[in-house]
Amino acid sequence: MAAIVACCLLLSAKSDSKVRVFMIGDSTMANKQYEKTPERGWGMVLTCFFDDDVVIDNHAVNGRSSKSFIDEGRWQKVIDQVRPGDYVFIQFGHNDEKPRPDRHTDPGTTFDENLRKFVNETRSKGGIPVLFNAVVRRNFVVEVVKNDDDEKLRNIDAKDSPIVVEDDTLRDTHGAYLDSPRNVARELDCAFVDANRITHDLEQSMGREESKRLHMWFAPGDNPLVPNGRRDNTHYNVYGSHVVARLLASAICEEVKPLKKHLVNYDIAVATDGTGDYFTIEEALSAVPEGKKTTIQLLGGEWQKPTVDKAKKVKFVLRKGAKWKKIPIL
């Protein structure tokens, strides 16, 4: 009996030693139905950049603002679970800008009030809030873009997308909504990650053509999940989500020092649940350049150990319970 009790205590201590991260936000952060779309939120793939001691619980949802996230009871479900030492990553703005009354807030007043609510209630439970401002839209358009256009572009074919004139300057679409998280963080002495600056610098450095690789930009026939193509400047594809998540993970660890020891930096992630760069080892190996040392992390599941071309210098890392399939002895 004593042995059973000791074992239970050990398992409980092991569970409590995990670092828990709750994420709340909109579609740019949210998990996606990977069987139906190549779209990914950066929060969906963030697990690839933290070790197994960090457990990420992503509650971000497409189309939500700080207001609708609260009004729909989603925030209450999160805060009810928060325990002392848990982190809560908070990123809104894209949908607070929208004119719809069920979403709209104003920077400096109602938007700030909602952010204060998230921060203060997290702290009341002993949690650690981290504020983010919105990631940038890929907006090289010369004319002014309305902030309600991105949701429309998500679900229409490439041929039906409006033709716009672009130049080489990335233009802001968020305005004062970028300032509210920064101001509230300063006011309440809360950690703040300038996700907008980080993603702006990324997309501006890539330029108007190369930056399309980050987003749901597909020509007809490029991807079987969007057979008619897509021109979406807001939402990330698999590649883009990983690029952005890698940058934001590093920035998070600079602002929240205790998380830095959990940061990992593998080259490629493979997972069957859509969180990886690829679904199969074979796809990952085909992307490895010859002669370059490359680390491939396998996230969960059982895997057939592959035969690797000698010209490719590959190291595998098994994570989240991943293991090699046993070869039967004949």
pLDDT tens per residue, range 173-214: 999 999 999 999 999 999 999 999 999 999 999 999 999 999
- State which residues form the domain around 272: 266-330
Do 79 and 57 contact (CB within 8 A), yes or no? no
Written as one letter, the residue type at 238 is V
Same structural domain, 321 and 189: no
Q: Are residues 212 and 303 in the same domain?
A: no
Residues 161 and 53 in one domain: yes
Q: Is residue 303 part of a domain?
A: yes
pLDDT at 147: 56
Task: Give Cα separations from 5 to 9, 15, 16, 17, 122 (angstroms).
Answer: 6, 15, 16, 18, 33
Give the residue-averaged pLDDT of 272-298.
Answer: 97
Pick from 92, 90, 68: nearest CA to 79: 90
Other Cβ atoms closer than 10 A to 124:
10
How many separate domains does the chain show?
2
Q: What is the pLDDT of residue 293?
A: 95
Among 238, 265, 292, give the residue marking a domain's end.
265
The sign of the CA dihedral 112, 115, 121, 125 is negative
- Residue 100 and residue 43 share a domain: yes
Residue 24 Cα to chain centre, angstroms: 11
Residue 180 lies in a domain: yes
Residues 245 and 107 in one domain: yes
Beta-strand runs (E) in the chain: 19-25, 39-40, 54-58, 87-91, 128-132, 191-193, 215-218, 230-237, 268-270, 294-299, 302-303, 314-319, 323-324
Whether 168 and 59 map to the same domain: the answer is yes
pLDDT for residue 155: 62
Is the confidence at residue 157, as pLDDT, over 70?
no
| Residue where a domain terminates, one of 220, 236, 265 | 265
Is position 4 within any domain? no
Beta carbons of 247 and 254 less than 8 angstroms apart: no
Q: Quick check: is 8 in a domain?
A: no
Residue 178 lies in a domain: yes
Q: Is residue 229 part of a domain?
A: yes
Per-chain mean pLDDT for the chain? 92
User: Is residue 256 located within the same domain as residue 289?
Assistant: no
Coil, helix or strand at residue 191: strand
The residue assigned the tokens 């992390």 is 297
Which range among 65-69, 162-166, 179-183, 188-192 shows the weakest confidence by mean pLDDT?
162-166
Q: Provide the edge-to-edge strand list for the sheet that holds 39-40.
A: 39-40, 230-237, 215-218
pLDDT > 70? residue 279: yes
Q: Rounded distance, CA 239 to CA 232, Å?
A: 14
Query: What pLDDT digit, counting tens, does each position of 95-147 carry?
Result: 999 999 999 999 999 999 999 999 999 999 999 999 999 999 999 988 765 55
| 125 and 136, same domain (yes or no) | yes
**Does residue 80 sit in the same domain as residue 141?**
yes
Same structural domain for residues 114 and 93?
yes
Q: Indicate the residue among 265, 297, 312 that finishes a domain.
A: 265
Question: Domain check: are 312 and 296 in the same one?
Answer: yes
Is 5 a member of any domain? Answer: no
Residue 194 sits in the same domain as residue 275: no
Query: Would you say residue 11 lies in a domain?
Result: no
Question: What percent of the chain shows pLDDT beyond 70?
Answer: 89
